[in-house]
Chain A
Amino acid sequence: MIGSLQRIIIIARNTLTEAVRQKVLTVLLLFGVVMICTSSFFSQVVIDQQIKFVKDFGCGAIGLIGLFIAILSTAQLLPQELHNRTIYTILAKPVRRAEFLFGKFLGVVLLLALSVALMSLAFAATLWWQESQGIAATKATYAANPHWESIPDQVSAYHHDVDAIVTQAEDPQLVEAILLLFAKLVMSSAIALVISTFSTSFIFTVITTSMIYLVGHLESTARDVWLQGGAQVSFLQSGFLEILSLLVPDMNSFTIVDEILDGHAVPWWHTLNLVGYAAVYTFVLLALSELIFRNREI
């Protein structure tokens, strides 16, 4: 068991090293970081709108760049190993196929964790900068009246405005948002892994995973639309939805991130529920990948 775990970690580290030394992913990640850092230059008139924009933009960039990294790096795992024939050298060693597959996947998860952490740091720095800019601008507005500090109403209004900026910029719920984005990325990567275990081409894996990702976003909308029809929902329609919801993970639940960005309170238990859902789905997908890969001719 310990030996098994060690081999998984060795393969995961090698996968991470490969991804880090590959310039394409580094460029993609740098692009994400730069995108987030420059978001504060898209100026909005009102300060709280500006902060909201940075938050939307930051989380959007983490989600999008993360999705690119998740799908692209997972989809190329097996084709590259087969092309370079490294898979033969590894599987001819005392390494089980499951260990190889899980090691590769863990490598991608580590890469995603690293990417999300780096982009989150850029996001936090941008928010902090935006916050200090906002506070400075607020102070400048009040300072138009040179005696404002001796007017209690003005001072109290100033503190109120600054508190509003700080509350908006230093929202602890952003941690929840980033955790949810990460969970969604890991799940997307697991979908790509399942496809790549039977796919013969990188492009097929990328396109199919993207389609499933899209369907995962639309399925709950479709359910809502059909269920609004009330009694008109046919047995076939409800059956189809049931099967779809079983096969395709419900990505739309993760749009709860938008609620967080809008400043609505989302309790931790709700976030952890969703993370648990992603974890269970990921484990099921991993088991499925192992089952397919176990019998694959290489």
Chain B
Amino acid sequence: MMDSSAFAAETVGLTKRYALSWKRRVLVALDHLDLQIKPGEVFGLLGPNGSGKSTTIKLLLGLIAPNEGDARIFGLPPESIEARRRVGFLPENPYFYGFLNGDETLRFYGKLCGLSGAKLEARIEELIELVGLQNGRERPLRSYSKGMLQRIGLAQAMIHDPDLLFLDEPTAGVDPQGSAQIRDLILRLKKMGKTVIFSSHLLEQVQEVADRVAIFSLGRKVLEGSLDDLLVEKQATLVNLPGELSAERREQLQHLLAQAGFNGADVSFSRPRLSLEQLYLRTVKADRKS
């Protein structure tokens, strides 16, 4: 299929206001957002609660209408059936239909997307394996844990093999193990050439998967760029050395650096630290192996 646009998702001056009639005030949920996301990119939407991340996603999905501006999905209006064939969505904290089991849930969403028969059953098998829900196939969703709900949510979002996935807080309320699995899944989707737009407030996770991020505050995009551009401290260089540095060797190094023209006061030494998440995952993994 030919894309009529160079962008998987694009917004121009996108604005959403809500009238708070009882206070005679207007809440600006999103203020003139310009965004261009290329196919194959993993894009992170960051910001505190109420900063406009979910509103952006809902506008891009055509679930709500903007007051001003325009949104396009592969050059198509977001509310069009053609655009929806190409997107998948995992909402924040989904519950789904508690009376359906894992297989029935995927069958329902697959049929809505026009899939049927052996093709649908094969797709269900594939997705159940991909999200690791083999033990939840026959269980009703009301008995699912939070992490399992997120995983079935991801599977339903991918049922029709969309080119663009919207994930609203995909790791909210999920334990670090589950959250790492979701992160790996996003990376797999990226390898498959899919575009992923996701919102999160777990900054470390965003850092690990996103190519680019936009930071939102009070309905406005305040910063946007690639992680390399945004996170690299251009005023300093970090050198990693193996093992512990004795006082004697530190002096030798400082001397060498002074000879190379570095002012001693600008040079600092520190031990690299693990993030708590890295420590946790490493410990749990080691424990399971033993």
Q: What's the Cα separation between A94 and B153 when bound, in Å?
A: 17
User: Which chain A residues lie closer than 8 Å to B93 at the CB level?
Assistant: 85
The answer on a CB contact under 8 Å between B99 and A84 is no
Q: What's the Cα separation between A6 and B81 when bound, in Å?
A: 15
Q: Which of A18, A88, A96 contacts B81 (CB 8 A)?
A: A96
Interface of chain B residues 64 through 121 with chain A (CB within 8 A): 64-65, 81, 84-85, 87-100, 108-109, 111-114
Q: What's the Cα separation between A88 and B61 when bound, in Å?
A: 9
The answer to the question of B51 belonging to the interface, with a C-beta cut-off of 8 Å to chain A, is no
The answer to the question of A89 belonging to the interface, with a C-beta cut-off of 8 Å to chain B, is yes
The answer on a CB contact under 8 Å between B95 and A86 is yes
Q: Which of A17, A85, A93, A298 contacts B113 (CB 8 A)?
A: A93
The answer to the question of A153 belonging to the interface, with a C-beta cut-off of 8 Å to chain B, is no
The answer to the question of A95 belonging to the interface, with a C-beta cut-off of 8 Å to chain B, is yes
Interface of chain A residues 60 through 94 with chain B (CB within 8 A): 83-86, 88-94
**Which positions in B face A, CB cutoff 8 Å?**
18, 58, 61, 63-65, 81, 84-85, 87-100, 108-109, 111-114, 153, 156-157, 160, 166
The answer on a CB contact under 8 Å between A17 and B87 is no
The answer on a CB contact under 8 Å between B84 and A94 is yes
Could you write out 30 A-B pairs with CB less than 8 Å apart? Answer: A7-B112, A10-B108, A10-B112, A17-B99, A17-B100, A18-B97, A84-B97, A85-B93, A85-B94, A86-B95, A86-B96, A88-B63, A89-B89, A89-B90, A89-B91, A90-B112, A91-B63, A92-B87, A92-B89, A92-B166, A93-B84, A93-B109, A93-B112, A94-B81, A94-B160, A95-B84, A95-B112, A297-B18, A297-B64, A298-B64
B94 to chain A, nearest CB (A): 5
User: Which chain A residues lie closer than 8 Å to B97 at the CB level?
Assistant: 14, 18, 84, 86
Q: Which of B61, B92, B111 contacts A92 (CB 8 A)?
A: B61
- Residue in B81, B87, B96 with the greatest tally of chain A CB atoms within 10 Å: B81
Q: What's the Cα separation between A96 and B156 when bound, in Å?
A: 18
A-B pairs, 5 with minimum CB distance: A92-B89, A84-B95, A21-B99, A94-B84, A88-B91
User: Which chain B residues lie closer than 8 Å to A7 at the CB level?
Assistant: 112
Interface of chain A residues 89 through 135 with chain B (CB within 8 A): 89-96
The answer on a CB contact under 8 Å between A92 and B88 is yes
User: Which chain B residues lie closer than 8 Å to A88 at the CB level?
Assistant: 58, 61, 63, 89, 91, 94
Contacts A94-B160, A295-B65 aside, 10 further interface pairs with beta carbons under 8 A come to A6-B114, A10-B108, A17-B99, A85-B91, A88-B58, A88-B61, A89-B96, A92-B63, A94-B112, A297-B18
B32 to chain A, nearest CB (A): 20
User: Which chain A residues lie closer than 8 Å to B157 at the CB level?
Assistant: 89
- Residue in B58, B63, B113 with the greatest tally of chain A CB atoms within 10 Å: B63
The answer on a CB contact under 8 Å between A84 and B96 is yes
Q: What's the Cα separation between A96 and B82 when bound, in Å?
A: 11
The answer on a CB contact under 8 Å between A92 and B94 is no
User: Which chain A residues lie closer than 8 Å to B114 at the CB level?
Assistant: 3, 6, 94
B30 to chain A, nearest CB (A): 13
The answer on a CB contact under 8 Å between B156 and A89 is yes
User: Which chain B residues lie closer than 8 Å to A91 at the CB level?
Assistant: 61, 63
The answer on a CB contact under 8 Å between B84 and A92 is yes
A82 to chain B, nearest CB (A): 11
A264-298: contact bitstring with B at CB < 8 Å (1 yes, 0 no)? Answer: 00000000000000000000000000000001011
CB within 8 Å for A10 and B96 given contacts A92-B61, A94-B84: no
Q: What's the Cα separation between A10 and B111 when bound, in Å?
A: 7
User: Which chain A residues lie closer than 8 Å to B65 at the CB level?
Assistant: 295, 297
A219 to chain B, nearest CB (A): 32
- Residue in A18, A93, A96 with the greatest tally of chain B CB atoms within 10 Å: A93
- Residue in A11, A91, A298 with the greatest tally of chain B CB atoms within 10 Å: A91
Cβ-closest chain A residue relative to B141: A84
